[in-house]
Amino acid sequence: MPDDAAAARAAAEEESAFSHSPVDPDVSSAYGDHPDQVIDFYAPRSDQDVSAPLVVVLHGGAWRARYDRRHITPFADYLARRGFAVANVEYRRGGEPSSSLIPEQNTGETVPPAGRWPETFDDVAAALDALPDLVRTALPQADPRRMVLTGHSAGGHLALWAAARHCLPADAPWRTAGPAPLRGVVALAPIADFEVAEKLDVCGNASLQLLGGHDTFAGRRPYADPVLLLPTGIATTLVQGRTDLVVPHAVAESYADAAAKAGEVVGLTLLEDVGHFPLIDPAADACAVVAEEIAQLAW
pLDDT tens for residues 104-138? 444 445 677 999 999 999 999 999 999 999 999 99
Nearest C-alpha neighbor of 80 from the set 141, 135, 19: 141
pLDDT at 110: 63
Q: Which residues fall within 8 angstroms of residue 226, CB to CB, at 6 or more apart? A: 157, 160, 161, 164, 190, 192, 193, 255
Mean pLDDT of 160-164: 98
Burial environment of residue 179 by CB neighbours within 10 A (0 to 12, 13 to 18, 19 or more): middle
Percent of the chain with pLDDT over 90: 90
Longest CA pairwise span in the chain (Å): 56
The answer to whether the CB of 190 falls within 8 A of the CB of 160 is: yes
pLDDT at 96: 63
pLDDT at 106: 44
pLDDT at 49: 67
Whole-structure pTM value? 0.95
In angstroms, the CA 134 to CA 151 distance is: 20
Name the 3-class secondary structure at 108: coil
- Cα distances from 91 to residues 127, 168, 199, in angstroms, run 8, 20, 27
Reported as a pLDDT band with limits 50, 70 and 90, residue 97 is very low
pLDDT at 18: 97
In angstroms, the CA 69 to CA 96 distance is: 15
pLDDT at 3: 82
Examine the pLDDT at 102 and tell me if it is beyond 70: no
- Cα distances from 33 to residues 59, 70, 115, 123, in angstroms, run 20, 20, 19, 11
Mean pLDDT of 138-153: 96
- Cα distances from 6 to residues 12, 198, 244, 279, in angstroms, run 10, 22, 9, 17
Reported as a pLDDT band with limits 50, 70 and 90, residue 46 is confident
Reported as a pLDDT band with limits 50, 70 and 90, residue 299 is confident
